Amino acid sequence: MKELSLHILDIVQNSVKAKADKIDIIINENIKDNLLEITISDNGCGMSEDFLKTVKDPFSTTRTTRKVGMGISLFEAAAIQSGGHLDIKSKLGQGTTLYVCFMHNSIDRAPIGNMIDTMITIILSAPEIQYVYKHCKNEKEFVFDTDVIKQSLGDIPITTPEILEWIKGYMQEGLASL
Amino acid sequence: MKSLAELQQLRDQISQQVVLRKDREDGIRVVVGMATCGIAAGARPVMSAFLNEVSKRKLSDVTVTQTGCIGMCRLEPIVEIYMPGEEKVTYVKMNEEKVARIVAEHIINKKPVAEYTVGAVQE
């Protein structure tokens, strides 16, 4: 994957499949300590200890159509090649938290990429879920919470094209202010 | 600066429109494969391009949605188009340029772009 935002898009699909109704995405750019951290946590069905042990293995998957699942392994490879690592914590019935870190200035670290398109894509894939995206950089932060948006929308769906356009502009301004 | 007050204004504008968009049974569905294989091959910009075309041309009866892996990962990004009363058409190795043509020729003028379909590639 060319962008970290594409990995995030991919990993969030796991949370959607785990029947989460709230998914938190936190990107923390700590430039002082040369650290980039991404945390994705959900309140979905979680994983058993046995499955958790094998989950980073590309030959481990919940898919029934075939025997490979690459999402987490690819994300871990992206972290390791730029001096970081990936950790997953999960409790059955409570949810899963995936944490990845990178050396911020590593030449092998992929760019964060287009988080706006990633958010629009996951909103469209499961609009009923509450997504909270927090991006911290240089001691400033931008928080985007779909529940706040939905409260302002009343019975207009968040997937209405005009609303998605507005969300894009809103996130553009918010991220540019960091 | 965009504010939530502005969003509420936009909401009021939309709710005043006579025809509300709905996921209608008789609408056209564009389904983009968005599993690991699709994403790695470039499915996200393809989906964005469909969304842009739909909103630019105000195609109120078109819904853009996603699915998982269809099982032909080497042909990703894959897009399926469901038109009411027609057989499903599967487009493979998609990109943004192909999207513009498919929207104009297939979705608007109802003539599938044969050379982009899975059938054309597998021959």
ipTM: 0.85
Determine contact: B65 vs chain A, CB below 8 A: yes
B105 burial type by CB count under 10 A (0-12 exposed, 13-18 middle, 19+ buried): middle
Task: Report, as an integer, the average pLDDT of A19-38.
Answer: 96
Chain A contact present for B95, CB below 8 A: no
> Residue A135 and residue B84: Cα distance in Å, rounded?
42
pLDDT of A66 above 90? no
Choice among A106-115, A162-171, B24-33, B105-114 with the minimum mean pLDDT:
B24-33
All residues of chain B having their beta carbon less than 8 Å from the beta carbon of residue A170 are 2, 7
- Is the pLDDT reported for residue B19 higher than 60? no
Interchain CB contact of B114 with A (< 8 Å):
no
pLDDT at B123: 58
- For B34, residues 6+ apart whose C-beta sits below 8 A from its C-beta are A9, A13, A121, A125, B43, B44, B47, B66, B67, B68
Q: What are the structural domain ranges in chain A?
A: 4-176
Binned at pLDDT 50, 70 and 90, residue A55 comes out as confident
- B23-122: CATH topology is Glutaredoxin (3.40.30)
Q: Could you tell me which CATH number the domain at A4-176 has?
A: 3.30.565.10
| Any A CB within 8 A of B4 CB | yes
- Among A86, A55, A77, A75, smallest CA distance to A10 is for A75
Domain ranges for chain B, please list them.
23-122
The 10s digit of each residue's pLDDT in B93-117 is 999 999 999 999 999 999 999 999 9
Mean pLDDT of B25-37: 89
Chain B residues within an 8 Å CB radius of A155: 15
pLDDT (0 to 100) of residue B121: 84
Q: Is B40 within 8 Å of A169 when comparing Cβ atoms?
A: no
Judging contacts by C-beta atoms under 8 Å, the chain A residues touching residue B73 are none
CA angle A118, A122, A123 (to 5 degrees): 115
Contact between residue A43 and residue A51 where contact means Cβ atoms under 8 Å apart: no
Give the pLDDT mean for B51-65.
90
Residues B62-91, mean pLDDT to the nearest whole number = 93
A interface residues, B as partner, C-beta within 8 Å: 1, 6, 9-10, 13, 63, 65-66, 69-71, 74, 114, 117-118, 120-121, 124-125, 148-149, 152-157, 160-166, 169-170, 173
Q: A51-55, A75-79, A118-122, B23-27 — which is least confidently predicted?
A: B23-27
* Mean pLDDT for the stretch of residues B7-25: 72
Test the B interface: residue of A124, A147, A164 with most B CBs within 10 Å: A124
pLDDT of residue A51: 85
Taking CA–CA distances from B56, the nearest residue in chain A reads A161
Chain A touched by B39 (CB under 8 Å) = yes
Higher local confidence (pLDDT), A166 or A62: A166
Average pLDDT of chain B is: 89
Q: What is the pLDDT of residue B21?
A: 53
Please say if the pLDDT value at position A65 is more than 70: no
- Taking an 8 Å cut-off on Cβ atoms, the answer to whether A125 and B48 are in contact is no
What pLDDT score was predicted for residue B20?
54
